[in-house]
Homo-oligomer: A and B are copies of this chain.
């Protein structure tokens, strides 16, 4: 079977594919906000309907949180050795606030030709991950339209809690281990190398979320009356945070680096040879200088070095007005990005011991956070990797970069540990997609050629892997 007819079909159907994606974007499936619970279910049901329309046996599956969507496709003419792929994506999105910083409403998708001549699709979840999910479904749609059948056994698993900690993912995988069995997982939640060069993500950092609250006086105090003798939780919290890194940018927690492997000289050389401009990468967000650990390149700081990051802080007067108040509490939100064999529970416990040790008299510290994921590295010898890599090369006419990623995708680790299979992660997002931020977008080209890429991947796997 030739795939050129399929690719042509993809091209011809692009406008309608965009409209289908927009339908999904319009559902504000923000998984971290309880008020959007029904929206999450609507997004699940919409996705399930799409799968059924493609001929999948699909269902919305309840969990203690937001539901999963599972769909199965088994070709009628079944060769015994036909590969079975598990496609994973997520239908939930990040909150859209601050709303005032969006140029268009986050859940009213917009297709726009920007001043650089490129068409882009704007809306919350466009890149992370609804647009990427739809590249795969649209590839299946085109393939089916032309050939009447898909060339592989395909299971699709869509999660609704990726942005809220994936609390129910591992239990779901465990409970449905047999149903979800496959030869390999395909995940589309990562970036291209650049707008012209595809990439496959080979390693991911782990992630812990942690919140710390320092409490002092039983109530907010007047800073004139109590300023001096009353302990100040914001000051104490600032000391805790300021003490977490040394002057070289290293995390000061004891034994933090015990399970962090130094990158090999060969790896460092290979990464240094990549067409990566630190200036351009940082310059895109108004920065010039890598701010992570001294003596590591920006790429190394992202791909193979752990971090402690402060994601939010609040306490006392957060209004524009001047107020002579001493806050009763102050809170910070942190993430730790983990690499190598760093253990989430050990790191979390180490942070809590450190913070507790910094409390002066009259201050209490409390923490919120649990779970987390360790880092994963996908097996470079996986037999599906070559097929995916070749498919991408044919679509983009460039060899894909086999790269690391600073972000965590906990499902990769769960899939490895629970289902026993590796994940291949091509992705069509771009670094400037503004995921988790206002004005999230997905280039029309990412969407279009993402669909075409998946057509080639399905075809390539069906031909070359057995």
A-side interface residues toward B, CB under 8 Å? 32-33, 94-95, 97, 164-165, 191, 205, 207, 209, 211, 216-232, 234-235, 237-239, 241-243, 245, 278, 281-282, 285-293, 298, 301-302, 305, 307, 309-319, 321-327, 330, 332-333, 335, 337, 360-362, 369, 405-408, 431, 434-438
> Are A243 and B241 in touch, CB under 8 angstroms?
no
With both chains docked as a complex, state the minimum distance between the C-beta of A49 and any C-beta of chain B, in angstroms: 28
Closest 7 CB pairs of A and B: A224-B407, A312-B317, A228-B301, A242-B242, A218-B286, A32-B321, A228-B292
A435 to chain B: which residues have CB within 8 Å? 222
**Out of B237, B285, B293, which one reaches A221, CB within 8 Å?**
B285
A227-B307, A228-B406 are known; give 11 further A-B pairs, CB within 8 A.
A32-B321, A165-B322, A225-B302, A225-B407, A226-B302, A231-B291, A232-B291, A310-B316, A312-B315, A312-B316, A322-B333
Partner of A324, one of B33, B282, B322, B436: B436
The reply to whether A321 and B164 form a contact with Cβ atoms under 8 Å apart is: yes
**Bound form: Cα–Cα A218–B231 in Å:** 35
Known contacts A95-B321, A318-B318; decide if A406 and B226 are in contact (CB<8 Å).
yes
A323 and B312 in contact (CB under 8 A), knowing A222-B435, A225-B406, A228-B301?
Answer: yes
Known: A323-B32, A333-B316. A234 touches B230 (CB 8 A): no
Pairwise interchain contact B227-A291, C-beta atoms closer than 8 A: no
Which of A222, A293, A310 counts the most chain B CB atoms within 10 A? A310
Q: What chain B residues lie within 8 Å of A312 (beta carbons)? A: 234, 315-319, 323, 325, 327
Partner of A285 from the list B224, B226, B408 (CB cut-off 8 Å) is B226
- Complex-state Cα separation, A245 to B332, whole angstroms: 20
Residue of A242, A245, A302, A321 with most chain B CB atoms under a 10 A cut-off: A321
Among A226, A305, A361, A362: residue with most chain B CB under 10 A: A226
Task: Give 14 CB contacts A-B under 8 Å.
Answer: A32-B321, A209-B324, A222-B436, A224-B337, A225-B405, A228-B290, A232-B291, A232-B310, A234-B313, A237-B238, A239-B242, A288-B361, A291-B360, A309-B326
Q: How far is the CB of A315 from chain B (nearest CB, A)?
A: 5
Query: How far in angstroms is the closest Cβ of chain B from A422?
Result: 20
Partner of A225 from B218, B220, B245, B431 at Cβ < 8 Å: B431
Q: For the complex, what is the distance from the CA of A310 to the CA of B315, rounded to whole Å?
A: 9
Stoichiometry, copies per complex: 2
Contact of A282 among B230, B305, B310 (CB under 8 A): B230
Bound Cα distance A431, B226 (Å): 10
Closest-by-CB residue of B relative to A362 is B287
Cβ–Cβ contact A32 & B322, under 8 A: yes
Of all chain B residues, which has the CB nearest A244? B235
B residues less than 8 Å from A285 (CB atoms): 217-219, 221, 226, 230
B residues within 8 A CB of A32?
A: 319, 321-323
Taking CB atoms, residues of chain B closer than 8 Å to A362 are: 282, 286-289, 291
**What's the Cα separation between A191 and B191 when bound, in Å?**
62
> Are A232 and B438 in touch, CB under 8 angstroms?
no
In-complex Cβ contact of A437 among B95, B207, B222, B408 (8 A): B222
Q: Contact partner of A219 among B164, B318, B337, B437, CB < 8 A?
A: B437
Question: How distant is A251 from chain B, measured CB to nearest CB, in Å?
Answer: 11
Query: In the complex the two chains form, is A325's CB within 8 Å of B436's CB?
Result: yes
Check B324–A207 contact: CB distance below 8 A.
Answer: yes
Contact (A310, B241) CB under 8 Å given A285-B219, A317-B333, A362-B291? no
Q: How far is the CA of A324 from the CA of B208 in the complex (A)?
A: 10
Shortest distance between the CB of A310 and any CB in chain B (Å): 4
